[in-house]
């Protein structure tokens, strides 16, 4: 089992004024990122598959969320106690768990029962669960007051945007495989819109973060020129944003082939994953300072 | 009743007595330090100040770590002490991300202080498999306090920099120190209402 | 199975601070160490190190069986090829070798011990005396701690060291000292007392190249270039005496030799009949002997015609002597600004409140709430004597020595337990009325000064009666010097207790070469260290938590809280039984005594050394185990009812201190020298012997009045070596090689300073270095160490500071290996780097940073 950090690095981190967050990205922590990624994509897929009324997409959504659940179990230090996570009054993780607990049985049953009032109600229930899954993740990060970079109302919006785009992206990859024809041009436009909005959100997010406290600025520095920079530039920006946007812009000139749309989808998914990965990786804890003192500004 | 602590930065000499007596008291594994001494440097030569900043869990009245806990393992107990019910902890570590004071530690594996050489008799006795895969933290030595003792870090502080008591009792030593010496919380703007106060170094 | 749960009182052994502890033992496992609140030594509170001893006790790398080397080749990093042997085999071989040496020339036995565990001091000294060897040293001690500080402490305060009177002092100035800040003697009690003093408002000024520890808590940090403390202190003395005209005439006239008349030859003008020094009695209008009872108007100024010569009081000579040491001159040497020196001198003189008194316990006593404190930093130099002497003069001229509020020796006076009157000691006047300490730590007293003799010991000690230990015990030029002085023997065997002299003396190559020349080395160790690589037999020792001793804090002048409060005499006892085949080293020593047939000698020495009394004296013909000896010592002091059994149960005996003990200066008729007249004769005689043996001699080191003399580092002319290196006592490892303790190691790795090379941030930037970068430091002699720099504002721009007691390379210490930087590897160990007056090794070094 890979550890989050070697003993040497645990001490190096503890000794640092600006302590990097590793619990939710390194070692077994990577499974949490995977879990967050899959639950977002799954929930987003559910919404779009419903809209397109494409049954395999619904199955795919369920599979993604179920895998997300497994990834979460892999991440937890004591996965066997997962059923205790129902304290949803103040905990966004518990809310996410409730969302998943609603979504999975409701969605599965909705597909199994014959069409009718019951299945309609189940679909509504599953969609509520999916909505919770889309909303909760960003809030889990935003509730992390120890990591100022995350502790922002912008993050839930960014993560919801990514989830929706992720759902669309998964469908772009899988629809052609399913032999289903779609209005390629229309989907491309939506895709472009979502990609741009995600880019705008990300830019907004980083801009806001730059202006807040030192730890958050340090996180931005980690993202743009530190430990998280490769994932950020390659994964989040280049593959995740620039490529789909570019292709989307080309889409104005004429219809895109299904293969190209699949590429847009795939790159969007990669981008989605690395956005979560890079933002997690760039997390820096509040430095502990004597009252009224600021740490020395972080070195570039 | 609201347990709290005043740490006098004028008295502390950074001897690490608190950090290590805490370790001995709780038998915490490597990398887990409920009490710590940080050294923070300010100014430029020769007008330099090196501040020894002893820390521990601040047992916040509005503890973000309790709010984010999905199982209720992190909870308030008597006197406002923030503690973890080990058996309820799933090891999601949301509390670590929520704590602005670095007071929580995830104990990933059962390793001792002599890597590759097994556990010492002390470690055999003090370490528990129950503490693997969960988050550990300071609980103001609540068992000692209930037995009429001071928390280990307070009892051992050679410079007598730490004072523990009931902040709700205006006559208590800790409440008076906070009042008379102008005790300050760390990052009060976060709204966590820590119950550990620092008395200024000068 | 029933659980046994015990708290066992004992004594810490992780530095010479030896605080009183209680070990919490559940069944056979030690689960906690706490301070013992019933003892004044620590008052129930411990430093980080003190509570961490559990990990030293349970280190799986402890030695559990006697080991014999199979590889005849000795060297750094050479595997000795250890083979397990039985205790009997080991002791048979050791006895045979010792007997041969004893029959031949006992001086060929070289005894070395650590300063960390003070309990071994008396037994080893007793063994050495019984065996008949004068060649014994505390490795690292004497070179690095106290040849100067303890000497000056002994001469002026009848004590090993001094602290400000934390209960009453208002202004303390520390020169390279950290008393009360987590290091050294009485570490834990001093931390509390110093914190109380800060809270009370005592102003603390710390003169130090680094602002960690004491300077971090000071009201003012005065950065200084290493080894220049005397320059600053002498300039302050000059300002106080000559610009401000402040001094305590009463104190100087009656408690020092300031009024002694000095003739044109620099010597005392003596009474023709009694040979006693004369003073000028202004009331009588003529000179009288210094001890004339009713002489009340002793002149400190003027010039007088006495016994046919023009004579002046010593105080006049001092005032004139220091005139040359202007603040501007001192600034050029120390980098401390002249304005700062003048201001501090003014504050010191004003805060001394000369003439004021205070009533304590119904007694009116002098009140001088200022103290100038010196320790390792200012004393760790070739010029240690004058550095400490100059700083001490600040206390002496304003009368702030062992009076209320002033600089206090550690317990120079003890009138004993109320029921037995023991232990009892007090300083008394010696030759020329100057003070002889009531008790002492080292074999010979700081005063009177013995006549120099052609040396017959490895340290050349006889020629240098002001020194304790000398570098020649492990220097690169030892053979050359021994040959010069015709030392009639060479060390043939070393008995080492716990010292790791590879790391604790100077550069390890030099020390290794000296060790490799010793044919047979036996070492009592708890782990295999770099030193053990040179041993022929290693004996598995008990660690302090498995050991027994009746006197872990004796004598009180060494390590007992100063100031009012309580006396405490604790014992050390096993908190857990020794594991494996470990044996208490002192028990093994006693067995060796018996095997060697020197029982009679040993018992006689023990009777004297341990002050055994009446029926508790050892009979010459009887064999006693170490426990029995301990029992008798305790009964001798505290009565038959309070033997070892009583102490094992109670741990410590305490009783209140008296004002006459703490502020003894006012009560005792002893004087201390502000003018070291005795150096004149000493210089004359020692020089004659030295020159006769071809050793160059420079009189400048033997002037009766102090001056600043440069360290070798100040004379390096090559500008490439642009930094001064010094080491400091890190609170986590002060005076102990505890990098191997993983709790302390963890704390050190979290500390920004413990394991790094502290370099001034601006200096680092001009050199293009970044924080955490690995660099090599190189001395002008080509010695090198490697480590990571920590860029900080807390170090003088010309300096690098390194935490001491680090830099292990032995594979047998897996936690310690590769941690920190071995500063000592940069130090030369030779005659040129030692003091020609007290043999103190210089511990500052010029350096450059190479990639």
Q: Based on the structure, what is the number of domains in chain A? A: 1
Q: What is the pLDDT of residue A184?
A: 58
Look at residue A289 and tell me if it is in a domain: no
Q: What is the pLDDT of residue A90?
A: 94
Chain A nearest-CA distance from C382, in A, is 37
Within 240-269 of A, beta carbons closer than 8 Å to C belong to: none
Pairing relation of β-strands C537-540 and C162-164? unpaired
Question: In the block, which residue shows the tokens 């984010």?
Answer: B68
Query: Does B157 reach chain C within 8 Å, measured CB to CB?
Result: yes
Residues in chain B: 202
A85 touches chain B (CB under 8 A): yes
Which chain B residue's Cα is nearest to C30? B122
Q: Which two tokens stand for residue A188?
A: 């491309």
Beta strand pairing call for B81-84 and B74-77: antiparallel
Q: Tokens 């009224």 map to which residue?
A: A292
What pLDDT does residue C471 have?
A: 87
Cα gap C525→C541, rounded to integer Å: 5
Alpha-carbon distance values, C71 to C98, C407, C536 (Å): 22, 54, 9
**pLDDT value, residue C443:** 77
pLDDT category, A196, cuts 50, 70, 90?
confident
Query: What is the per-residue pLDDT for A214?
Result: 84
How distant is the Cα of B60 from the closest Cα of chain C, in angstroms?
A: 25
CB contact under 8 A, A77 and B64: no
Residue A216: pLDDT band by 50, 70, 90 thresholds? confident
Looking at the partner chain, which of A10, A21, A85 has a beta carbon nearest the beta carbon of B97? A21
pLDDT on residue A263: 86
The answer to whether A199 and A162 have CB atoms below 8 angstroms apart is no
Within-domain flag for A112: yes
Gap between the Cα atoms of C55 and A71, Å rounded: 39
> Is the pLDDT confidence value at A298 over 50?
no
Torsion of CA C351, C356, C361, C363, to 10 degrees: 150
Output the six-digit token pair for A64.
């993604």
Point out the residue among B70, B73, B101 whose CB comes nearest to the CB of A288. Answer: B101
Pairwise CB contact (< 8 Å): A75 & B92:
yes
Interface of C with B in 4-43 (CB under 8 A): 26, 28-35, 42
Whether the link from the prior residue into C423 is cis, omega within 30° of 0, is yes
Contacts of C779 (CB under 8 A, 6+ apart): C721, C725, C826, C827, C828, C845, C846, C847
pLDDT at A297 > cutoff 60: no
Per-residue confidence in pLDDT tens, chain B, 202 aa? 999 999 999 999 999 999 999 999 999 999 999 999 999 999 999 999 999 999 999 999 999 999 999 999 999 999 999 999 999 999 999 999 999 999 999 998 889 999 999 999 999 999 999 999 999 999 999 999 999 999 999 999 999 999 999 999 999 999 999 999 999 999 999 999 999 999 998 8
**Residue A4 is assigned to a structural domain of this protein:** no
The pLDDT value recorded for residue C727 is 94
- Check if C818 contacts A (Cβ < 8 Å): no
SS3 C409: strand
Asked whether C116 and C90 are in contact (CB, 8 A), the reply is no
- Single out the residue of C171, C145, C147, C150 nearest to residue C161, CA to CA: C150
Residues 4..43 of A with a Cβ closer than 8 Å to C: which? 11-12, 14-15
Distance CA A87, CA B67 (A): 9
How close A203 comes to chain B (CA, Å)?
24
C241 CB-near residues (< 8 Å, 6+ apart) = C247, C318, C319, C322, C397
Structural domain including B56 reads 3-199
Chain A interface includes C746 (CB < 8 A): yes
- What is residue A299's predicted lDDT score, i.e. its pLDDT? 42
Tell me which residue of C621, C678, C525 sits closest to C120, measured CA to CA. C525
What burial class does residue A92 get, using C-beta atoms within 10 Å of its C-beta: 0-12 exposed, 13-18 middle, 19+ buried?
A: buried
pLDDT of residue A182: 62
Span A161-183, pLDDT tens digits: 889 888 888 988 888 776 666 66
- Quote the pLDDT of residue C580: 94
- Is position A41 within any domain? yes
Range of the domain at A35: 18-281
B159/A contact by beta carbon, under 8 A? no
The answer on pLDDT for A1 being more than 60 is: no
pTM of the complete model beyond 0.80: yes
Mean per-residue pLDDT of chain A: 87
Residue B135 sits in a domain whose CATH number is 3.30.70.20
Does B114 sit within 8 Å of C815, measured CB to CB? yes
Q: pLDDT tens digits, residue range A55-73?
A: 999 999 999 999 999 999 9
Structure tokens at C628: 């029995």
Go through the domains of chain C in sequence order and give each one's CATH number: 67-138+448-549+575-606 (3.40.50.740), 146-412+670-681 (3.40.228.10), 712-850 (2.40.40.20)
The enclosing domain of A203 has a CATH number of: 1.20.1630.10
Q: Which residue of A has its CA nearest to C770?
A: A299
Tokens of A256: 């895109």
Separation of alpha carbons C816 and C812, rounded Å: 9
CB atoms within 10 A of CB C29: 18
Whether chain C has a CB inside 8 Å of the CB on B28: the answer is no
Please give the interface size between A and B, counted as residue pairs whose CB atoms are below 8 Å apart: 149
Domain count of the fold of chain B: 1
Is pLDDT at C142 greater than 70 in this prediction?
no
């Amino acid at each position: 089992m890979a550890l989050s950090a070697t003993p040497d690095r645990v001490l190096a981190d503890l000794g640092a004024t600006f302590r990097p967050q590793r619990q939710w990205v390194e070692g077994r922590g990577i499974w949490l990122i995977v879990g967050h990624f899959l639950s977002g994509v799954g929930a987003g897929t559910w919404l779009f598959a419903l809209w397109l009324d494409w049954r395999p997409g619904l199955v795919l959504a369920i599979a993604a969320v179920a895998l997300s659940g497994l990834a979460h179990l892999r991440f937890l230090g004591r996965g066997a106690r997962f059923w205790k996570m129902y304290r949803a009054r103040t905990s966004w993780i518990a809310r996410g768990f409730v969302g998943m607990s609603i979504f999975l049985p409701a969605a599965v049953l909705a597909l199994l029962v014959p069409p009718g009032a019951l299945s309609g109600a189940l679909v509504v229930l599953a969609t509520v669960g999916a909505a919770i899954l889309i909303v909760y993740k960003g809030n889990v990060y935003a509730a992390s007051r120890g990591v100022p970079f995350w502790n922002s109302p912008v993050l839930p919006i960014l993560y919801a945007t990514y989830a929706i785009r992720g759902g669309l992206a998964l469908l772009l990859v899988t629809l052609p495989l399913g032999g289903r024809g779609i209005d390629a041009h229309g989907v491309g436009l939506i895709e472009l819109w979502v990609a741009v909005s995600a880019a705008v959100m990300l830019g907004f997010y980083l801009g806001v973060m730059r202006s807040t406290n030192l730890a958050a600025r340090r996180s931005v520095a980690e993202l743009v020129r530190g430990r998280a920079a490769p994932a950020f530039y390659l994964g989040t920006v280049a593959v995740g944003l620039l490529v789909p946007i570019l292709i989307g812009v080309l889409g104005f000139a004429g219809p895109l082939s299904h293969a190209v749309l699949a590429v847009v989808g795939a790159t969007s998914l990669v981008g989605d994953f690395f956005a979560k990965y890079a933002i997690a990786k760039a997390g820096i804890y509040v430095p502990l300072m004597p009252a009224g003192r600021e740490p020395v500004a972080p070195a570039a | 009743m609201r347990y709290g602590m005043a740490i006098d930065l004028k008295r502390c000499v950074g001897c690490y007595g608190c950090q290590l007596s805490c370790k001995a008291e709780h038998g915490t594994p490597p990398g887990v330090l409920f009490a710590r001494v940080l050294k923070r440097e300010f100014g430029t030569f020769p007008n330099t100040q090196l501040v020894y900043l002893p820390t521990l869990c601040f047992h916040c009245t509005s503890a973000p770590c309790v709010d984010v806990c999905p199982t209720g393992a992190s909870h308030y107990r008597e006197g406002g002490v923030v503690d973890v019910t080990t058996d309820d902890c799933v090891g999601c570590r949301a509390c670590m991300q929520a704590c602005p004071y670095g007071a929580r530690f995830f104990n990933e594996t059962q390793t001792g202080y002599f890597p590759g050489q097994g556990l010492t008799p002390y470690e055999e006795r003090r370490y528990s498999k129950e503490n693997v895969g969960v988050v550990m933290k300071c609980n103001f030595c609540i068992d000692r306090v209930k037995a009429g003792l001071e928390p280990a870090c307070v009892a051992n502080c050679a410079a007598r920099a730490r004072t523990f008591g009931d902040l709700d009792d205006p006559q208590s030593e800790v409440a008076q120190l906070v009042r008379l010496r102008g005790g300050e919380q760390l990052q009060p703007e976060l709204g966590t209402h820590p119950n550990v106060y620092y008395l200024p170094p000068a | 199975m029933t659980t046994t749960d015990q708290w066992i009182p004992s004594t810490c052994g992780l530095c010479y601070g030896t605080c009183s502890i209680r070990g919490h033992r559940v069944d056979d496992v030690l689960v906690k160490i706490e301070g013992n609140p019933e003892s004044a030594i620590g008052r129930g509170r411990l430093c980080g190190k003190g509570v961490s001893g559990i990990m030293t006790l349970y280190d799986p790398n402890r030695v559990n069986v006697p080991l014999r080397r199979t590889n005849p080749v000795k060297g750094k990093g050479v595997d000795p090829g250890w083979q397990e042997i039985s205790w009997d085999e080991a002791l048979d071989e050791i006895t045979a070798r010792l007997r041969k040496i004893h029959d031949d020339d006992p001086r060929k036995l070289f005894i070395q011990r650590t300063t960390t565990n003070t309990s071994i001091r008396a037994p080893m000294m007793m063994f050495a005396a019984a065996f008949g060897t004068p060649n014994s040293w505390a490795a690292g001690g004497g070179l690095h701690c106290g040849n100067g500080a303890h000497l000056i402490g002994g001469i002026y305060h009848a004590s090993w060291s001094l602290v400000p009177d934390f209960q009453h002092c208002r202004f303390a100035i520390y020169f390279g000292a950290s008393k009360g800040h987590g290091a050294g003697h009485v570490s834990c009690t001093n931390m509390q007392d110093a914190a109380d003093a800060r809270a009370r408002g005592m102003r603390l000024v710390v003169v130090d190249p680094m602002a960690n520890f004491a300077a971090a808590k000071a009201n003012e940090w005065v950065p200084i270039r290493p080894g220049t403390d005397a320059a600053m202190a002498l300039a302050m003395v000059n300002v106080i005496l000559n610009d401000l005209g402040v001094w305590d005439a009463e104190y100087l006239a009656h408690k020092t030799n300031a009024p002694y008349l000095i003739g044109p030859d620099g010597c005392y003008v003596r009474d023709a009949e009694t040979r006693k020094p004369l003073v000028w009695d202004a009331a009588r209008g003529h000179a009288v002997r210094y001890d004339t009872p009713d002489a009340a108007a002793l002149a400190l100024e003027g010039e007088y015609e006495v016994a046919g010569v023009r004579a002046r009081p010593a105080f006049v000579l001092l005032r004139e002597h220091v005139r040359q040491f202007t603040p501007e001159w001192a600034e050029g040497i120390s980098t401390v600004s002249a304005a700062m020196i003048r201001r501090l001198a003014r504050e010191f003189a004003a805060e001394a409140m000369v003439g004021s008194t205070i009533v304590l316990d119904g007694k009116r006593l002098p009140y001088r709430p200022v103290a100038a404190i010196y320790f390792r930093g200012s004393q760790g130099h070739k010029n240690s004597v004058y550095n400490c002497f100059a700083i001490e003069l600040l206390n002496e001229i304003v009368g702030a020595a062992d009076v209320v509020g002033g600089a206090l020796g550690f317990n120079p006076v003890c009138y004993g337990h109320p029921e037995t009157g023991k232990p009892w000691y007090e300083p008394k006047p010696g030759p020329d009325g100057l003070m002889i300490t009531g008790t002492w730590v080292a074999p010979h007293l700081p005063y009177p000064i013995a006549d120099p003799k052609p040396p017959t010991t490895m340290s050349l000690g006889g020629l240098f009666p002001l020194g304790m230990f000398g570098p020649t015990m492990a220097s690169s030029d030892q053979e050359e010097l021994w040959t010069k002085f015709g030392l009639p023997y060479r060390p043939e065997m070393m008995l080492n207790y716990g010292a790791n002299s590879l790391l604790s003396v100077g550069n390890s190559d030099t020390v290794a070469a000296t060790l490799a020349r010793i044919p047979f080395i036996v070492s009592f160790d708890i782990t295999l260290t770099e030193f053990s690589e040179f041993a022929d037999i290693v004996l598995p020792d008990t660690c302090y938590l498995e050991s027994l001793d009746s006197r872990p804090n004796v004598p009180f002048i060494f390590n007992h809280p100063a100031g009012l409060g309580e006396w405490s005499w604790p014992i050390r006892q096993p908190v857990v039984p020794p594991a494996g085949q470990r044996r208490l080293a002192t028990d093994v020593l006693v067995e060796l005594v018996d095997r060697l047939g020197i029982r009679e000698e040993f018992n006689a020495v023990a009777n004297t050394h341990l002050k055994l009394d009446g029926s508790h004296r050892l009979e010459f013909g009887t064999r006693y185990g170490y426990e029995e000896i301990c029992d008798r010592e305790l009964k001798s002091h505290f009565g038959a009812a309070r033997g070892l059994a009583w102490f094992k149960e109670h741990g410590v005996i305490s009783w209140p201190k008296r004002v006459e003990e703490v502020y003894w200066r006012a009560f005792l008729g002893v004087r201390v020298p502000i003018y070291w007249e005795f150096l004149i004769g000493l210089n004359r005689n020692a020089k004659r012997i030295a020159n006769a043996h071809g050793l160059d001699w420079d009189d400048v080191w033997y002037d009766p009045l102090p001056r600043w003399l440069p360290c070798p580092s100040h004379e390096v002319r090559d500008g490439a070596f642009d930094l001064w290196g010094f080491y400091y006592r890190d609170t986590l490892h002060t005076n102990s090689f505890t990098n191997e303790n993983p709790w302390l190691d963890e704390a050190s790795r979290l500390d920004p300073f413990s394991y790094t090379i502290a370099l001034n941030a601006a200096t680092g930037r001009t050199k293009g270095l970044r924080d955490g970068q690995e660099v090599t430091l190189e001395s002008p002699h080509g010695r090198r160490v490697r480590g990571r720099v920590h860029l900080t504002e807390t170090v003088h721009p010309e300096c690098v500071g390194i935490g001491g007691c680090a830099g292990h390379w032995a594979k047998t210490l897996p936690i310690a290996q590769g941690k920190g930087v071995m500063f000592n590897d940069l130090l030369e160990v030779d005659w040129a780097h030692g003091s020609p007056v007290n043999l103190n090794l210089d511990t500052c070094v010029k350096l450059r940073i190479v990639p």
